[in-house]
Structure 1
């Protein structure tokens, strides 16, 4: 079970795609082309006039769908996240699988790296979508899957970071008691439960239509234009449940665990600098990546908007970008959380330095020999 965690997650992803494709084919067979619905831009105020704006985007909505911020700046940021995240998490996952002994913390880190890679593999579709003027050309099924990956990665990362903190709490604060249940099988089973829970929690994205065309702009949007009743009803209550049970409660648990770990390390020894660094990184992930996304999502899909117009869309789009930054920060968390991972990285770096010095010496020796022979 321990060895098959990454493969299990990719299998779950394939099942998501098949489910989305099935739901898409069901909609297409029903003959619903989106007309006759109240297509409202994600943040446009309705004021009870849904029939007046049926299938029409207002001027502000058109501006945000065509501005350079959403068509150039945001996809450029996604490219940087993709480049760094793919290299860092790919190398980290290979290192965790091949060079590090199987421990509960290692299993959690492997699954966290796998979750980040799944999100990164979905980023090229998002990049293409924005560079094409927010025009989605990959079909309904893939739009639902990419949307599910975006939110699924966020909450999967939150839960995995929470259980990493619980694992460190048990190992350092209650080392003798935790020996009864803290083993690789328990960690692997916990990761499977997390993947199953996250998979179930993102199913609503796979069941609801996400692609809507705009004849005025000649584009097809993905998750940027939704019916009014779906925004203020279905998705609002759905995100309330997600934020409370998969962000707020895990966040409080994580803070409690790391505060307890710091107190224990300060009381027993003075070697708690690495733990503080890991805690700071985790807090950065929560504060910078996850907290803004979850707060804006609640406002975004609420009928009681704090902003009375479409200007909230910029916050929404930027927060989605920040929610992907955790895939760039997580490799540093691996470094400070796992002593074995840290030693492995250092050995790789030192090995490369030694190899470079040896190569440089090899290039110098023949020159010295020839020069000596010439003098003789």
Structure 2
């Protein structure tokens, strides 16, 4: 839940509003820019036939779609908890959060499994994770996550103390159903993928122990694989583990109907912090792309280098045109005698 407040008189608004506002602004700026750049690299600069590239492309799409909903959350908390976008967008905003979180978990799991197969069964990786199969897996992940999160599309805004609210539960009427959804997400959406990633990470590390000599002083493909899986493991621990633990504890506390205001506010503060960590995965994933894949780094650096060269050539061209208005290219000699020597701009820029 975005900030479960089951007791109307025990509300952590003074804590959560500035935290959510600042966090969502930073996440929107960093996440939108970094994931847009990542998609450009994946779609335009890299071959799209490797399993990791296909899964990471889908991961970047998920993160970018989530960041596009953040302006509504920012506006909501800037207005101190007043929703102005209507019922459909209220449901879409909550739906986008859960789709992003669980699709990220499953795509990161798919990346880890593909790397595991590449290390332990390198001769079979192209057969097991061919392009068609990777696309089918990606579509299955989108279908599973979207269908399981679809009940959140029915979420509506509501009136509370003269203010239209969203992004927080209205009452405890549906707490039993929420607990069922929580345990479904906890087991299928987090625990099982976390176990798979942990096993993959341990097996890959064990497999690479015999390759220390080759790995020493050089970042081989196997070394990059270990770095990639290790970073995925860290993202799980930092972003997803705290949220699922805190959410489960908080829901059970709410179901106990205890009327301890201080404890309720403390639990709400933990929910706020853990939710921010969960949503921050949209900013951590581009870091994973950059540091765990030399292909991504090389493509991005090469693109930046080419853009600098093009910019430099344009500045040279503009300076020449300003010095010789109306000239199509730099000309040396006496035009009146018909002796025109046209020098390519590329030669000028390299001289």
Question: SS at 2:170's partner residue?
Answer: strand
CA contact (8 A) 2:186 2:244 kept: yes
1:291 to 236, 241, 256: 241
> Which residue number in structure 1 is paired with residue 102 of structure 2?
155
1:230 to 174, 180, 190: 174
1:327 aligns with 2:307: no
Q: How does 1:249-288 map to 2 (within 5 A)?
A: 249-268=192-211, 269-270=214-215, 271=220, 272-288=222-238
Comparing 88-97 with 327-336, which one deviates more in the overlay? 327-336
Comparing 264-273 with 325-334, which one deviates more in the overlay? 264-273
Shift, 1:324, TM fit: 1.5
- Asked which structure has the greater CA Rg, the reply is 2
1:91 to 8, 15, 37: 37
* CA distance in 1 between partners of 2:52 and 2:233 (Å): 18
Summarize deviations over 1:25-82 as a string: whole Å, max 9, x none: xxxxxxxxxxxxxxxx93446xxxxxxxxxxx21x22xx23x2x33333211111111
* CA distance in 2 between partners of 1:277 and 1:181 (Å): 22
Shift, 1:288, TM fit: 1.5
Cα–Cα, structure 1 residues 364 and 121, in superposed 2: closer, same or farther, change >3 Å?
closer
* CA distance in 1 between partners of 2:27 and 2:5 (Å): 26
Summarize deviations over 1:91-145 as a string: whole Å, max 9, x none: 1101111111122221111100000001100101011011101111111211111
> Which residue number in structure 1 is paired with residue 130 of structure 2?
183
For normalisation by structure 1, the TM-score amounts to 0.74
> Which residue number in structure 2 is paired with residue 30 of structure 1?
none
For normalisation by structure 2, the TM-score amounts to 0.79
* CA distance in 1 between partners of 2:247 and 2:306 (Å): 46
1:114 to 28, 44, 61: 61
* CA distance in 2 between partners of 1:360 and 1:118 (Å): 36
Task: Note the residue ranges of structure 1 that are not aligned, 5 or more in a row.
Answer: 1-40, 46-56, 366-376
* CA distance in 2 between partners of 1:266 and 1:351 (Å): 39
* CA distance in 2 between partners of 1:76 and 1:195 (Å): 30
CA contact (8 A) 2:94 2:152 kept: yes
* CA distance in 1 between partners of 2:231 and 2:316 (Å): 40
1:199 aligns with 2:146: yes
Cα–Cα, structure 1 residues 275 and 105, in superposed 2: closer, same or farther, change >3 Å?
closer
Question: SS at 2:129's partner residue?
Answer: coil
Cα–Cα, structure 1 residues 281 and 360, in superposed 2: closer, same or farther, change >3 Å?
farther
RMSD: 2.6
> Which residue number in structure 2 is paired with residue 31 of structure 1?
none
Cα–Cα, structure 1 residues 309 and 343, in superposed 2: closer, same or farther, change >3 Å?
same
CA contact (8 A) 1:43 1:312 kept: no
Shift, 1:189, TM fit: 0.3
Shift, 1:298, TM fit: 1.1
CA contact (8 A) 2:201 2:229 kept: yes
CA contact (8 A) 2:197 2:233 kept: no
Shift, 1:259, TM fit: 2.2
Question: SS at 2:196's partner residue?
Answer: helix
Summarize deviations over 1:244-292 as a string: whole Å, max 9, x none: 1011100110121122223333323313543343234222311121111
CA contact (8 A) 1:86 1:120 kept: yes
Shift, 1:211, TM fit: 2.1
Count the aligned residue pairs: 306
